[in-house]
Amino acid sequence: MLPVITEEMSSEIFGEVFNDVQSWRKNMVQYLKEENPEINTAILEVAKYDESIDLKAVALGAYMSYRLIEVAAENDGLSIEE
Residue 27 has a pLDDT of 94
Does residue 68 belong to any structural domain of this protein?
Answer: yes
Distance CA 49, CA 17 (A): 24
Residue 11 domain flag: yes
Q: CB of 59 within 8 A of CB of 42?
A: no
Supply the range of the domain harboring residue 63. Answer: 7-75
3-class secondary structure, 78: coil
- Tens digits of residue pLDDT in 69-80: 999 999 887 555
Residue 74 three-state SS: helix
> Is 29 within the bounds of a domain?
yes
Segment 10-21 mean pLDDT: 95
Residue range 16-58, pLDDT digits in tens: 999 999 999 999 999 999 999 999 899 888 877 777 888 888 8
82 in a domain, yes or no? no
Crossing angle (nearest 10°) for helices 7-19 and 55-75? 140
Read off the pLDDT band of 82 (50, 70, 90). very low
Residue 67 placed within a domain:
yes
Total domain count, the chain:
1
Sequence length of the chain is 82
- pTM, two decimals, is 0.82
Assign 3-state DSSP to the chain and report helix, strand, coil percentages, each to 5.
Answer: 75, 0, 25
